[in-house]
A and B are shown apart, each in its own frame.
Chain A
Amino acid sequence: MPLSKADFAAVWLTLELASLTTLLLLLIGTPIAWWLARTASRWKQPIGAIVALPLVLPPTVIGFYLLVSMGPQGFIGQLTERLGLGTLTFTFSGLVIGSVFYSLPFVVQPLQNAFEAIGRAPLEAAATLRAGPWDTFFSVVLPLAKPGFITAAILGFAHTVGEFGVVLMIGGNIPGKTQVASVQIYNHVETMQYAQAHWLAGGMVLFSFVVLLALYSRRSTLRVWQ
């Protein structure tokens, strides 16, 4: 296999990035999705639209705004500098933040669908049994929405693995820190190292196929995600 140490480092970094991003997205995405599924507020549609923005925006737009806002003159950059964290561009943490934005709708939307599908009845039943809101959430909502959580995690993870444009804009291509697999493929193609590019690219195709196959097999048996 013609893959180098840097290639394996890139693959490992990609998996680390996708895992951490997925974990954060489940934590952040659950309250957002819950609110979107339950609220009657007039802010529901605008917030829903903002969450969905990364679906339609080119990643370069997200990357460009992140580069500017996380830089020393940007508001995120000034905040992180004041907190003693330095600027986040060209760092792994910066990529995680970028990926959270980039993959947000892929986690929030399946969760929202799952929460909406539960309906009012189970919650009202729980309330009559004097379950508190947290108890209801953990013993009624979580088990019922479990397929939604699995779908959200798979989509969030896979979409982050496929991230390229955002990383290109804010990563700086540092081996072991910001050089993820998709960027490494780009580098190989640029420098005419087609053998390495093929190994990595082929691996990505296989990975994506397996993930989607798993997703679709689940869908046909469980029918949770319309």
Chain B
Amino acid sequence: MSCSIFRALFTAMIFTLNSPIQASEVQVAVAANFTAPMQAIAQSFEHHSGHQVVAAYGATGQLYAQIQHGAPFDVFLSADASTPAKLEAQGQGVRGSRFTYATGRLVLWSATPGYLDGSDAALKAMRYRHLAIADAKTAPYGLAATQVLAKFGLTEAVQGKLVTGQSIGKALHFIATGNAELGFVAMSQVYQEGVLKSGSAWLVPAALHAPIRQDALLLKKGADNPAAAAFLQYLKGEQAAQIIQSYGYQL
């Protein structure tokens, strides 16, 4: 009895191992702020191309370190323009493959409805205990947030209130659980189809910080991977553009 089960399992295993790979797989390292649109794009891309997408999400600086140390990614979707440029210069990326896939918008968000009234009043009033941001050293949205604070002359004043998430995803988590009353996150994390999903927000004017140009790069490991080329092609296309814009990015 058990012998026949083992035989069946073994046969199934051999069969799986021997079956020809129908479609290729593309491994994509994705900046945390782009998580939601990436999931939608990956699903749509898989549906249209038959290729498989394996996405890993993290802070841009963290992904940069992983790529430098041989992480098996084919494509890198960064949250800034400088990190892919650095990787390309270091020979980790394919020359000339770099392009801007989205321009990010920074948002000041609170999980409490009505806490923010669509203006910067609550930020300046400072009646909060904790203001969450992503680490400015590793996350471009964190850097943009510190630029906004500097522009308002609040850098010193908020020092004792600032809590830092290792990525923009962690910062969102601090705010969503109410542990920080408000914080700077990516518009893509809290907006869908141009509508705020929950809580209250102030859409930070783009003039208050350096533009968050998010660049993509084909990495050396993915240079000969047809799925990687197809994915980048898809990312530049009309369908992906629609998804990207629907999450509050500009192109």
> Which positions in A face B, CB cutoff 8 Å?
67-68, 70-73, 77, 86-87, 89-90, 168, 170, 172-174, 186-187, 189-192
Contacts and interface: CB of A to CB of B under 8 A. Distances in A.
A190 B174 contact: no
A172 B137 contact: no
Of the candidates A87, A190, A192, the one having the most CB atoms from chain B within 10 angstroms of its own CB is: A190
B65 A68 contact: no
Interface stretch (B8-16, B18-26, B159-167, B224-232): B159-167
A110 to B, nearest CB: 34
A87 B163 CA distance: 14
Interface of B: 59, 61-62, 65, 129-130, 132, 135, 137-138, 162-166, 173-174, 177-180
A186 B62 CA distance: 10
B138 to A, nearest CB: 5
Given A71-B179, A87-B179, A190-B137, A174 B173 contact: no
Nearest to B160: A174
Contact of B164 (A72, A172, A189): A172
Contacts of B164: 172-174
Contacts of A190: 59, 61-62, 65, 135, 137-138, 166
Contacts of A173: 135, 163-166
A170 B173 CA distance: 10
Contacts of B138: 190-191
Nearest to A69: B177
A172 B178 contact: no
Given A67-B177, A67-B179, A173-B164, 12 more contacts: A71-B177, A72-B178, A73-B178, A87-B179, A172-B130, A172-B163, A186-B166, A189-B65, A190-B137, A191-B61, A191-B137, A192-B65
Contacts of B165: 172-173
Given A172-B163, A190-B166, A90 B130 contact: yes
B57 to A, nearest CB: 15
21 contacts: A67-B173, A67-B177, A67-B179, A73-B177, A73-B178, A87-B179, A89-B174, A89-B179, A90-B179, A168-B166, A170-B179, A172-B164, A172-B165, A173-B163, A173-B164, A174-B162, A186-B166, A187-B135, A187-B137, A190-B62, A190-B135
